[in-house]
Amino acid sequence: MERVARTDAGLASELRVSVMRLRRRLSNQREATDDLSVGARSALGVLFREGEMTVGQLAAHERVQPPSMTRTVACLVDGGYVERRQDEHDKRQVLVAISAEGTRRLQADRRRRDEWLAQRLHQLTPDERAVLRQAAPILERLASLD
pTM: 0.77
Tens of pLDDT, residue by residue over 8-57, are: 888 999 999 999 999 888 887 765 446 788 899 999 999 999 999 999 99
Q: What percent of the chain has pLDDT over 90?
A: 71
Q: In the beta sheet, which residues pair with residue 84?
A: 96
58-88 burial: b if 16+ Cβ within 10 Å, else e: bbebbebeeeebeebbebbeebebbbeeeee
Give CA angle at 28 (38, 114), nearest 5°: 90
CATH architecture of 36-144: Orthogonal Bundle (1.10)
Indicate the average pLDDT of the chain. Answer: 90
CA angle 76, 87, 49 (to 5 degrees): 50
pLDDT at 1 over 70: no
Q: Cα–Cα distance between 62 and 69 in angstroms, integer?
A: 9
